[in-house]
């Protein structure tokens, strides 16, 4: 099988779900794909992602504090993120954002404080951000539109409205599409993917979560990025080869440290 011009721009290969076969899976990824980005969710997972990035030339890391992990994080942790940003394998700040899905998560004001601080860090280092947005579209959009226009990044696993997308497209943002774009109950994701400008599309898996059809409910992995791209090509009336190449170029445009 020829190596595909395809990046998985969001895969948590550092998590324990891959402990049993991580080495074998990474060998297959290196043989079949251009590369992957592993975003951290706290200091420990960010360090693990960076360790993988140093061990494999096609793996890159993002470092950040996820809104669901803030109970064991502090703003002092940003000092370590700041230090990591100089590493050539750190391509973004992430996974960061807002998550209002349930009340067990950190208070909204605290989430917003951490997000603002990490957006400032990204601007300091001229790095893009990888954003998590669950049931928080209005607040996240307001925060992003209040930022200077030199800030950019990707809304991972985009689940907002087309109206939200249009406002962020005007600011140069990118949009990540993964397994949810293959689900029957896609909540409008496919209609947005169908009309998204091709130079703003990124593909991802969010491995080990949200595997695409026909593997829904099973462990996801970066090799399934090709399925997402093939489904997107059919939806948009183009070829898998063209959309893969386009998304790969988009990834290299946004994450300028990718090789």
Rounded CA-CA distance 223/102 in Å is 31
Determine the Cα angle at 65 with ends 155 and 131, to 5°.
5
Between CA 8 and CA 110 the distance in angstroms is 30
- Residue 95: asked if its preceding bond is cis (omega within 30°), the reply is yes
Could you give the domains of the chain?
7-254 (3.20.20.140)
What is the model's pLDDT at position 105? 72
pLDDT digits (tens, 9 = 90+) for 115-142: 999 999 999 999 999 999 999 999 999 9
CB-CB neighbours of 185 under 10 Å = 6
pLDDT per position as a tens digit, 188-209: 999 999 999 999 999 999 999 9
Cα 15 from Cα 25, distance rounded (Å):
13
Cβ atoms 163, 191 nearer than 8 A = no
- Is residue 104's pLDDT more than 90? no
Please return the burial class of 104, using the count of CB atoms within 10 Å of its CB with bins 0-12, 13-18 and 19+: exposed
Judged against a pLDDT cut of 80, whether residue 12 lies above it is answered with yes
Res. 1: pLDDT tops 60: no
Mean pLDDT of the chain: 96
pTM, entire model: 0.97
Contact 38, 11 (CB under 8 A): yes
């Amino acid at each position: 099988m020829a190596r595909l011009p395809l990046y998985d721009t969001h895969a948590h290969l550092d998590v324990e779900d891959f402990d049993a076969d991580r080495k074998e899976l990474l060998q297959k990824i290196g043989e079949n794909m251009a590369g992957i980005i592993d975003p951290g969710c706290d200091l420990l997972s960010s360090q693990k992602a960076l360790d993988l990035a140093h061990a494999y030339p096609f793996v890159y890391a993002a470092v950040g504090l996820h809104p669901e992990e803030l109970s064991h994080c502090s703003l002092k942790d940003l000092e370590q993120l700041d230090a990591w940003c100089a590493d050539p394998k750190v391509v973004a700040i992430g996974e960061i954002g807002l998550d209002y899905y349930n009340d067990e998560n950190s208070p909204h004001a605290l989430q917003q404080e951490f997000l603002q601080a990490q957006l400032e860090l990204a601007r300091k280092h001229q790095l893009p951000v990888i954003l998590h947005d669950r049931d928080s579209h209005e607040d996240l959009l307001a925060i992003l539109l209040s930022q200077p226009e030199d800030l950019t990044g990707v809304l991972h696993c985009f689940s907002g409205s087309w109206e939200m997308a249009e406002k962020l497209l005007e600011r140069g943002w990118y949009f990540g599409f993964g397994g949810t774009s293959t689900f029957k109950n896609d909540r409008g994701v496919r209609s947005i993917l169908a009309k998204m400008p091709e130079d703003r599309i990124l593909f991802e898996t969010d491995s080990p979560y949200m595997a695409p059809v026909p593997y829904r409910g099973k462990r996801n992995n970066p090799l399934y990025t090709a399925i997402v791209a093939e489904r997107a090509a059919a939806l948009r009336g183009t070829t898998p080869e063209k959309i893969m190449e386009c998304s790969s170029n988009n990834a290299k445009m946004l994450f300028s440290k990718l090789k």
